[in-house]
Amino acid sequence: MAGIDIEGLATVYPNGVRAVDGLDLHVADGEFFALLGPSGCGKTTLLRTIAGLEPASEGTVRIDAADVTRTEPGKRGVAMVFQDYALFPHMSVSENITYPLKVRRVAAATRADVASRTAGELSLDGLLERKPGQLSGGQQQRVALARAIASEGKVLLLDEPLSNLDARLRLEARTFLKKLQRDLGITTVFVTHDQAEALALADRIAVMDSGKLRQLGSPREVFARPANTFVANFIGSTPMNLLPGKVTADGAVTVAGGSLPASTSSTPADAEVTVGIRPEYLTLSTGDVTGPALRGEVVVAENLGTQSLVSVDCAGTLIGVTVPEETEPTPGTPVVLTAPASRVLLYTQDTGELLTFADSTARARS
């Protein structure tokens, strides 16, 4: 019921920077939605504009179909967890959790009930009388979540929810957060600069750059079919290979001294394109193969745990390819790289927009 509708939204700072620049977005009820992008892309400003902490310069924000563009933050039915959790150091955990209720002058007995119930949901039992300073980072985060939940907002906003935790705790908190969101079923928007976090948590991801939306889609879509080279570069723990290539007449592209299959139906022959292929989707073999392939020589292999990233020199261009552990070829080995046509993405060289899947490009723009 409590979806978020954003139309033509712009947030302009007094110095003229358009941090959010004419954005349209719909977040469905109960959805776990990620705003992803490099620092300075406007994702946090967008979140703060939804919260009402930054005034919108143009456009509208609707929550649960009600226009809240000019509504005070406290009256929007929105709860927010800040990056530093913003717990009040002089209040106990229990007072922190129930502060939203205290503001609304809810009776003390009711507040105590809510505190113990919410603390139970977030595994904070036994900590209610402590001060935030006596809690671990993970516990502090859960107190901040508990406070947001206790305020009974229709929408939950999380600013970089995992960035203040150390690496191990972060994975634990990620699982916890996803389960919590599923259990509560509350519409949640979170901001992150970590693509792995966005892929792991979100139902849908909005990739942003310079205040604009660059792609909107499920984690699978965004990962497998980046709508443009910006998204292609940004998503994925190993960078996507982006190489200059040329479309040939027989449904392939010549690239790096060899060729790869591609669906070239929407592209004229001889067109100059940027060929994008993820290292995970390339197959490395040492024998001979038939059909379009790239031939080169192994330069280095980097161990990534269960797999290795092998850099292959193909006619002077380095191409990354992942192989399962313990199958890394030694440097100097001549190898052949192949890929299925469905994984080879073609982008225009000038704008960097995806050519192969024209429909998904159009969707990202809408």
Which of 17, 86, 304, 315 touches another protein by CB under 8 A?
A: 86
Q: Does 104 bind another protein (CB under 8 A)?
A: yes
Beta carbon of residue 89, minimum distance to another protein (angstroms, whole number): 8
Beta carbon of residue 164, minimum distance to another protein (angstroms, whole number): 12
Tell me the C-alpha distance between 349 and 81, whole Å: 41
Contact map string, positions 135 to 154, toward another protein, x by CB under 8 A: ------------x---x---
Q: Does 100 bind another protein (CB under 8 A)?
A: yes
Nearer to another protein, 13 or 88 (CB): 88
Which of 17, 28, 66, 103 touches another protein by CB under 8 A?
A: 103
Q: Does 238 bind another protein (CB under 8 A)?
A: no
Nearer to another protein, 54 or 221 (CB): 54
What the block records as the tokens of 182 is 């599923």
Beta carbon of residue 200, minimum distance to another protein (angstroms, whole number): 25
Q: Does 16 bind another protein (CB under 8 A)?
A: no
Tell me, letter by letter, the H, E, C secondary structure of the chain: CCCEEEEEEEEECCCCCEEEEEEEEEECCCCEEEEECCCCCCHHHHHHHHHCCCCCCEEEEEECCEECCCCCHHHCCEEEECCCCCCCCCCCHHHHHHHHHHHCCCCHHHHHHHHHHHHHHCCCCCCCCCCHHHCCHHHHHHHHHHHHHHCCCCEEEEECCCCCCCHHHHHHHHHHHHHHHHHHCCEEEEEECCHHHHHHHCCEEEEEECCEEEEEECHHHHHHCCCEHHHHHHCCCCCCEEEEEEEECCCEEEECCEEEECCCCCCCCCCEEEEEECHHHCEEECCCCCCCCEEEEEEEEEECCCEEEEEEEECCEEEEEEEECCCCCCCCCEEEEECCHHHCEEEECCCCEECCCHHHHHHHHC
Nearer to another protein, 163 or 311 (CB): 163
Beta carbon of residue 53, minimum distance to another protein (angstroms, whole number): 6
Residue whose entry in the numeric block shows the structure tokens 């985060």:
141
Beta carbon of residue 176, minimum distance to another protein (angstroms, whole number): 21
Which of 13, 67, 84, 237 touches another protein by CB under 8 A?
A: 84
Question: Which window, 88-96, 268-276, 287-295, 327-335, contacts another protein (CB under 8 A)?
Answer: 88-96
Nearer to another protein, 90 or 182 (CB): 90
Question: Which window, 95-103, 161-169, 170-178, 298-306, contacts another protein (CB under 8 A)?
Answer: 95-103
Query: Site residues for another protein, window 63-82 (CB under 8 A)?
Result: 72-75, 78-80, 82
Beta carbon of residue 8, minimum distance to another protein (angstroms, whole number): 25
Residues that bind another protein (CB under 8 A): 51, 53, 72-75, 78-80, 82-86, 88-91, 99-100, 102-104, 147, 151
